[in-house]
Chain A
Amino acid sequence: MHRVGLLVCLCRARTRFQPGIFPAQSSTAALRDRAREPCGSSRGRTGPAGLREGGATAFAHSGPGPSRPPSRRAGPREERGGAGMAARCCQAGLSCGALLSQAVLSQAVLSRAAGGAPATPHWGRAAFSSAPAVSGREGPQPREGSVRRRGRTPQFVRSAAPPRTERMAVDQDWSSVYPTAAAFKPASVPLPIRMGYPVKRGVPPPKEGNLELIKIPNFLHLTPPAIKKHCAALKDFCTEWPSALDSDEKCEQHFPIEIETVDYVSSGTSIRNPKARVVTLRVKLSNLNLDDHAKKKFIKLVGERYCQKTDVLTITTDRCPLRRQNYDYGMHLLTVLYHESWKTEKWESEKSEEDMEEYIWENSRSQKNALDTLLRIKASENVSNVTEEELLASEVVKNYRNSVTALKNEGETESNMSQYKESVKKLLNIQA
């Protein structure tokens, strides 16, 4: 009795663990197909198409048939096969597996196959050096999904259509493939691009499933023909530049005040940027109607905002919260400065030598000293009294005046110094 029992057990065990027998595979495939096509229309399926492993020919007759419900075919072998799969999956004993009803088993398998909820997407082959592209090479297979056995759990893999790149003409309209900015789609870009750091003794990974190519911004939507189309479309909304303003000087003559504002673009749900309220006003003082006194007063009023070299006044306003308000404030400042500089206050007559912007020789110490010296020279030579006016009008004094003014106003240069030397020699009548 015991010997018989043992024998039976052995037989059953052998059947359980025999590799290459996947009747349940065919049954699940059939079930799946039935689930998808309740009307049972045939699809030109070959029998063992889904079964790639050897040893399935023994069960070819139990292969998928649209009109044959596999549950009714459940024989001992099928049950055991299905149970064996469950056993392989959940490490359950054979008896437990056999006790499970076929329907429940197939349901569990179906849900696992279709949903794949607890399992993550399975791994493909590393395609970094010699393997061809993985996607798109599934043409010869039937369109419906196939069951591949990788590892212990059967994963349902849906094959897709071949990529669009295989059907693209060389002279196609590229702007219809990428009309707007979009992520990189390897199936839509017919270029053999590789990107990434290569593994040792390998090449960069190919474009299929390459996250690096997706991360970077691409400009596939901005090819020159596409930009030409954009320009042609925008032309209707553009107006011509006025023909009268054909040079910078004319622009400056008609529009002397330049307003500079900055708009900021950023990514996010808010368009507000506090830096956008700053307004800069630029104008050349030569374009304003100012006389000598007004200009000097104007420059004193604005202080650092005036650049001597370029004769440009720059006013930057940002004290108001809105750009419009800052612009109005800037224009108001310009108006006020202009009018104030034309007025002469009473206290302006107290302007002293320290307040002068440039050196004026008249009534300066240099003039006094020069005249003093000349008068003493004349007195020592016993010449008749010459008046100061005569001295001032004389050539030598005028030369001296020019040279000293030039030195003080323009600074020390070679020509200025030599001119000063000559004028002093002439003044003191030194011939050397």
Chain B
Amino acid sequence: MAAAARALRALPRALRVPSATRQLHTSPVCLKVSAGGAVRAGKGDRPVTYEQAHAPQHIGHRKGWLSLHTGNLRGEAGAAQRALEDAFLRRFLAGTFPGLLADEAVLKRRGNLLVVCALLGRALPPHKLYFLLGYAETLLGNFYKCPVRLELQTVPARVPYKYL
């Protein structure tokens, strides 16, 4: 736009037409972060877990990390690879235990070993849970070429932290 104005000034006065510029309309910048919001949008009877109730700015203060590995430390490599693995693992778990996950899965890495800690509901009988456990461990171990251990805990119900 500034270049157009300069070009206009270079023209002889007779040829300058005020309406020959192109304008750009901008609005004020909206920098509000709305991620992870737990907003009351109803009667106040919607239960949320501790994880859902706290926004991302509380990570490190009221919340821990769902995924622990050395990739995000200063001077260490592999952050992107671990992030990609985490994304796939969460989708895989959501698909392997459909409707059973009571809360987010916690991923821990100890050297080569990958430990997945998941809280499940009790809709499935134990022998089916064990089958899914072995299935997930074997498949993930073959995918990532590293030992994978699933540590499952069952809870009778999702634990509500507060009602929004």
Q: Which residues of A contact B (CB under 8 A)?
A: 114-128, 134-135, 138, 156-160, 181-183, 185-187, 196-197, 199, 205, 208-212, 214-217, 265-271, 273, 275
Binary contact readout B49-79 vs A (1 if CB under 8 angstroms, 0 otherwise):
1110010001000111110111100011110
A121 and B78 contact, CB distance less than 8 A: no
A266 to B18, CA, bound (A): 65
A205 and B71 contact, CB distance less than 8 A: no
Who on chain A is nearest to B160 by CB? A126
Q: Min CB distance, B61 to chain A, in Å?
A: 8
B117 and A268 contact, CB distance less than 8 A: no
Given known A-B contacts A157-B157, A215-B64, A269 and B144 have beta carbons under 8 A apart: yes
B156 and A266 contact, CB distance less than 8 A: no
A294 to B157, CA, bound (A): 81
Which residue of B109, B124, B162 is within 8 Å of A126 (Cβ)?
A: B162
B151 and A183 contact, CB distance less than 8 A: yes
A214 and B161 contact, CB distance less than 8 A: no
Stretch at the interface among B9-17, B20-28, B99-107, B130-138: B99-107
B99 and A160 contact, CB distance less than 8 A: no
B117 and A208 contact, CB distance less than 8 A: no
B37 located at the interface, meaning its Cβ lies under 8 Å from any Cβ of chain A in the complex:
no
Q: Min CB distance, A277 to chain B, in Å?
A: 15
B78 and A268 contact, CB distance less than 8 A: yes
B110 and A208 contact, CB distance less than 8 A: no
Q: Min CB distance, A199 to chain B, in Å?
A: 5
A-B CB pair tally, cutoff 8 Å: 156
**Which of B78, B115, B122 counts the most chain A CB atoms within 10 A?**
B122
**Which of A114, A159, A197 counts the most chain B CB atoms within 10 A?**
A197
B5 located at the interface, meaning its Cβ lies under 8 Å from any Cβ of chain A in the complex:
no
Who on chain A is nearest to B125 by CB? A158
Binary contact readout B143-164 vs A (1 if CB under 8 angstroms, 0 otherwise):
0111000010111111111110
Given known A-B contacts A117-B98, A124-B156, A205-B161, A211 and B50 have beta carbons under 8 A apart: yes
B161 and A135 contact, CB distance less than 8 A: no
Q: Which residues of A contact B78 (CB under 8 A)?
A: 266, 268, 270
Which residue of B47, B108, B145 is within 8 Å of A269 (Cβ)?
A: B145
Q: Which residues of A contact B159 (CB under 8 A)?
A: 124, 126-127, 134, 205, 208-210
Q: Which residues of B contact A216 (CB under 8 A)?
A: 64
Given known A-B contacts A128-B161, A156-B123, A199-B161, A119 and B99 have beta carbons under 8 A apart: yes
Q: Interface size for chain B: under 10, 10 to 19, 20 to 34, or 35 or more residues?
A: 35 or more
Given known A-B contacts A211-B119, A269-B112, A123 and B158 have beta carbons under 8 A apart: yes
28 contacts between A and B (CB under 8 A): A114-B123, A116-B99, A116-B123, A121-B102, A121-B120, A123-B158, A124-B159, A124-B160, A126-B160, A134-B159, A135-B155, A181-B110, A185-B153, A196-B50, A196-B161, A197-B58, A205-B159, A209-B119, A209-B159, A210-B159, A211-B49, A216-B64, A267-B71, A268-B71, A268-B78, A268-B82, A268-B112, A269-B145
A270 to B78, CA, bound (A): 9
A216 to B151, CA, bound (A): 14
Q: Which residues of B contact A (CB under 8 A)?
A: 47, 49-51, 54, 58, 62-66, 68-71, 75-78, 81-82, 98-104, 106, 108-112, 115, 117, 119-125, 144-146, 151, 153-163
A183 and B54 contact, CB distance less than 8 A: no
A125 to B163, CA, bound (A): 11
Q: Min CB distance, A402 to chain B, in Å?
A: 53
Q: Which residues of A contact B50 (CB under 8 A)?
A: 196, 205, 210-212
Who on chain A is nearest to B82 by CB? A268
B115 and A183 contact, CB distance less than 8 A: yes
Q: Min CB distance, A67 to chain B, in Å?
A: 24
Q: Min CB distance, B139 to chain A, in Å?
A: 16
B106 and A199 contact, CB distance less than 8 A: no
Q: Which residues of A contact B157 (CB under 8 A)?
A: 121-125, 134, 157
A204 to B62, CA, bound (A): 11
Q: Min CB distance, A196 to chain B, in Å?
A: 6
Q: Which residues of B contact A128 (CB under 8 A)?
A: 161-162
A157 and B71 contact, CB distance less than 8 A: no
Who on chain B is nearest to A181 by CB? B110
